[in-house]
Structure 1
């Protein structure tokens, strides 16, 4: 920091920039041996400079960070020195600067120099000394050991051989034999060990064979138990399951671990626990017991079971050691017993019922046979008619007495005789039914009738009959002919309708392609699915845009949020965007987008109509500029008067100063007065220039009260000559509004000038600002003549004016309304003839939110 010596205040700071390459060379020049080098770390363990590894290649462990965090010089042994070396010795010391640094220097951290060396190089001298000491000691020990070995070998060799052999035999090598020829007790002891090894080898072979046999039997019985068709379980003395075979687990749908945590009475329904406990008591008392009960599977399914159990009793203590039971699923048996009982009862009832039915069977059969809706002929395999129903006599006119005994071929036209014989042959050879066929039959009066026939095999006792059903299809044939006629007429109408649709489609395509606006459709991914030829005015080809994203045509400041809201809420929107042509030229475009709905109401995409408003906006800007210049013209005389007043005072002061008769204090007062006058003139001229200049539209957060003050600077001089009293009520703490300051100043200027012109005989002008429910309100109220009701609806029409020729263009309120609506707001008017007029500007505090509310 730079400190003022007079008052000790900080008036500045010196910033020191350290070149990394300079520090790098200074660090790199520090070397220790072959592998030692210096590094630069920050106090939080982040590598800054290292001549060997890049900073990101270091591995910094918490132990190293803790050592560096002490911010003191010293040495430490760390498990990892950040270069991969283990148990390395490092040295470190904080970097000392000549001047005290601000706390935020070097990222708020302190630099620490660290020196490290490969541990192998560091500990090499010590390792060399240790090696020499060990070498000399080993040499002395070797000499002593060699002398002792030579002396003891001859004495201890037989004992050592005996010891080694016995140890090998003890480790399991029973085929090992001791070969000692000492002629003393050691040789006898070796022979005894050899004999013992032989005996053990023979015994172990027999034991191993029996173990194998036992394992085989165990596997055999385990397999029998696990795969037994019956459930088998084992209980301990507390009634808890010790084992359950695979069949039991599958039937009960429990896992083995679940079963081992349960007791026998956990499987039975509620209320049967006492019966199970009594069964267990009988089992302990008698050694075996049986019971029939119900087990509940894991899914609640009941299983009827029959349990036969045997118990292993502790003979000394008299208690139950465990019990093993065979459980047979008797659900099916009980079901069959119950069914058998039901079948017996039903069979007895059926026999009596059948006896009764057989009595009425023949009459009922005959009645049903006669009531069949089709004509039915019962024929034998040769085609001879044996019976007909009443419907046949009504439909074809053949009486049963006259037709029985005659051939069915007499009823069928000759053209179908061969087919009928083939169908009868199919029935005789075993076919159950012949599919429905169409034939022609002859009525008893000789009339030929179309009919459908079905042949069905019927067995009556031991006789084979064929039931031939004939259905008159005369009406159906007639309907089919009518249907064919209707089908041909319908096809003709479809062709005509298709041609009309094609013509309409061509007409609509011509309308779309020749429209003056760009018309397009987008899918839900905001990609073009159609665009008309008007897009070529912007330099794009239709085929190049299909499938491309819509946002590719917009400038970067438009990200498609409005379009996404249309897809989300399904509401039509009209808004302005900026399109970039193929040559990079920005174009102002007014877009109207509407959702496209599918059959079920789902949004499939959007339909957009884009109108190029570039030239229109230029014309609007020219109109605004002309109206602004007209306002400046109205202000010119008053502004000139406002400037002349301070200029006159300045000239008077200069005159008195030149006379040289003023005292020093009086001269100072004159100079101050002259300076105030110049500043007043400067402020008026600057405000007038800023108001009259053209500005590109620029929306920014703006203090509305500040905008009102700027406009009043240019219009205050109009109030006193016209006997107008100004009252300003500006709200405090109002939020800033997203507006174009110059445009809103132009609107306020127009409203104030109109108010002044409306109060020719004087009055009061009130300007009030406030925020109500997210809307900024600017109220301009005058006490002038007011606006007649007949004129009020037209005051915003372009070029409409009630003033005399030369007093106005008729564009002021029209331009003002356009500016306010462009800001997403509106202008409210309340006027009463003879009392005055109130204009209220409504501007949304949040412009985006206001536009969304207007859409919805």
Structure 2
């Protein structure tokens, strides 16, 4: 006695599917018996189509939720879990039955963070790619990237929220590992840079075109260029003599100078920014990439200026020692010769003096006799110098004023120098302090310097005598404008019996004796000279 309806499907002549709903409603009498049935038919094709589309869409969405590898969780307005897909099960380790109906905040590591996030969702309607952490079944932390939005019905009423999350735990682990690796590389790079910058030797590197890419502090100090002025701005050719950079690369590529790609301790000169040349040793290498292709070159330059200066001083000391040994040997020889000749020579001189008394001054033979006596006296003077050379006067040294000694000598010789057309220029320093010396020996040295200067200016000139203090040393300079000394003779002028004068003027003992006197006083004599440009002798003595 109840109403009944059924959906009937049939095909039209055109092949279209038609859905019709057949409805039957019974009419009953007083005895509840069916006396009549009212039937109706209506086309429900559109309604059935919409229901089918809704079913398919629902099935499609359910398939997405079930098969998605992402975690999809929906909650109601109280925060209770409504949907918990297999992706969520796999990610957190819980089954759907364990989670449905529970409070979603139980899954959050920081529940208060979700509350703040929900306030933002209510304000904006959604949040995308929010990084946070959930707690899995075994208290395992799962890092996720969460996109959260409000869930609404067809009329726009909020039903809850839907969250879709991607597991970024491994991605974050790799990212952190990469960051740690980058920090390690940065530390290693900083440490390597500190090593390069702290090196006492100049370190420089270039690309294969010669453009400078590394320039440490020692390179700045050694070559004068600042790193900011050369890195990426200057080619290495600038600091090499012409053609040298190319030759260095050829040597590194050749097996003749060691392993290919390397050059060890090769003597090298660089040109400083101020134009000065720096000497040293270069060790360099070519840098290759993983495929063996040349990418750069690096060089370490050891500045040997100090070492070379020490070697020069050592050679100078050795030469001075040799000179002293030569002087000592010559002294012993000359002493023997002088002593052997002195006695007969004095006999000859006395005989000549006696003969002078017997020959009248008007006699022609008297002039010949005087000439013989003069030459004998000259020979005696030579022997005296030889004895002085071999064994200087053992005079008591005492504090002496150099300026006073020079004043006395120059006063006596000024007239003689003027007669030789020589102008005297005097520049004596003040408050020089005394030297501990033998006055007579210093007089002999200064007289010899003046005599040499006079002989070097046969046509006149200027003799400059100057004194000055340099730290704890006193400098006495004798400068003339004379003929000068040849370069090849400079190293020999202090040798005994070496002279550039005529044999009549000397036998070459003057400077040797002077050198010995000054060395005995703890000083030194230096000479600077160029042919036709004059000569300067500089005597240095320690201040007492």
TM beyond 0.5: no
Say which structure is richer in strand: 2
